[in-house]
Amino acid sequence: MQYLVGVDIGGTHIRTCITSFENMNKETIIKLKERTLKTDESALSRQIIRMIRSLLSQNMIQVTELVSINIATAGPLDVKTGVIFNNANLGHRTIRIKGPIKQAFPSVECNMINDANGAVLGVHFYEATDDEKDNLVYITMSTGIGAGVIVNGHLLRGKDGNAAEAGHGMINPISPVECSCGASGCWESFSAGSGLSKQISAVGKKWTTKELYENARKGNTMAQKIVDQANFYNTVGIGLINNFYDPEAIYIGGAITNDADLILPVILENFEKQTIKFTINRVPSIKLTKLGDEIGLLGALALGKYILDKDKILL
Ligand SMILES: [Zn+2]
């Protein structure tokens, strides 16, 4: 048998999984999940290697049966050197991933992809309809905001693998609120978890993001104002993505979508009632992904499959 390993590196959790190449059915994938180790710069790669070894031994799979290890990670990263750099949530300036993993599994191919780019491959493989596949966007809204984009059947990757870094698109240059990246006025400084925390403390409150949405639901005007602002900039951000890439469908996922009832209907209404204010192009179908927390893993596996298949999506 031939097997693919998937790895999803996030600021809070590391997920790993293994699946046979012939049957990548969601239900048959074997998974492991742990909290991300940040004790030193090599803790993360050691943790991933240990998790892969236990997937192999628990399922009596030999290293020789492994085709590839496919890693989707929070970025920014350099896909060629396999290094994650300047990530605000992983605890270290520079984290080498590919080198140590290649050392531990020298005979196995190791592929890396930015998590949002991986996730759009996951949506492409597991979820999108045939008429959506060629022009498809995935937007993740969690601690930060990221996007993965497929145009004319090709994944957009960029010189280092960080194309469509939409969350740091500057949508209000005169904003006084600083983004986690150090700039001001990025989309995620208004609408992602990290940005919402800053917007909450700016009004003297100590709510978590979850409490913010709860309070908005209960009618607290201060909470509603922050949520309204987040949704306004969500519509601005999605409108720009629609102008730039002209997708057929935009799928949205990430932790923030636990409160999608206060987000998605507002975005859809903005596009319906004030279309030209937010986008010049035809409004695409905008919806939540059903892949949930596992979208990163599924995206990593889809990457492995498309590489093996020499699929044109990666050309
Ligand atoms: Zn930023």
pLDDT confidence of residue 264: 97
Tell me, yes or no, if the two domains 3-119+294-314 and 131-289 fold the same way. yes
Mean pLDDT score, 64-75: 94
Spacing, Cα 165 to ligand 1 middle (Å): 10
Per-domain boundaries in the chain: 3-119+294-314, 131-289
| Percent of the chain surpassing pLDDT 70 | 100
Locate all alpha helices (DSSP H) within the chain, ordered by sequence.
43-58, 98-104, 115-126, 188-191, 193-202, 209-218, 221-245, 264-273, 275-278, 295-308
Question: Minimum mean pLDDT among 84-98, 165-179, 181-195, 240-254: which range?
Answer: 84-98
| CATH number attached to the domain at 3-119+294-314 | 3.30.420.40
Spacing, Cα 83 to ligand 1 middle (Å): 20
Q: What is the pLDDT of residues 175-201, one digit of tens each?
A: 988 898 889 999 999 999 989 999 999
Q: What is the pLDDT of residues 127-181, one digit of tens each?
A: 999 999 999 999 999 988 999 999 999 999 998 888 998 999 999 989 988 898 8
Spacing, Cα 180 to ligand 1 middle (Å): 6
Mean residue pLDDT across the chain: 94
**289: Cβ contacts below 8 Å, ≥ 6 apart:** 119, 123, 127, 138, 251, 252, 253, 295
Spacing, Cα 145 to ligand 1 middle (Å): 9
The domain made up of 131-289 has a fold known as: Nucleotidyltransferase; domain 5 (3.30.420)
pLDDT confidence of residue 77: 87
Whether the predicted pLDDT of 86 surpasses 80: no
Mean pLDDT score, 255-274: 96
CB 74 within 8 A of CB 11: yes
Between residues 275 and 10, the one the model is more confident about:
275
Tokens standing for residue 85:
């750099």
Whether the predicted pLDDT of 91 surpasses 80: no
Whether the predicted pLDDT of 89 surpasses 90: no
Distances (CA, A) of 210 to 206, 217, 239, 256, 257: 11, 11, 25, 8, 11
Spacing, Cα 307 to ligand 1 middle (Å): 31
User: What number of H helices and E strands is found in the chain?
Assistant: 10, 13
Instruction: Give the residues across from 113 on adjacent strands.
Output: 72
Q: What is the pLDDT of residues 41-67, one digit of tens each?
A: 899 999 999 999 999 999 999 999 999
pLDDT confidence of residue 101: 97
pLDDT tier at 12 (50, 70, 90 boundaries)? confident
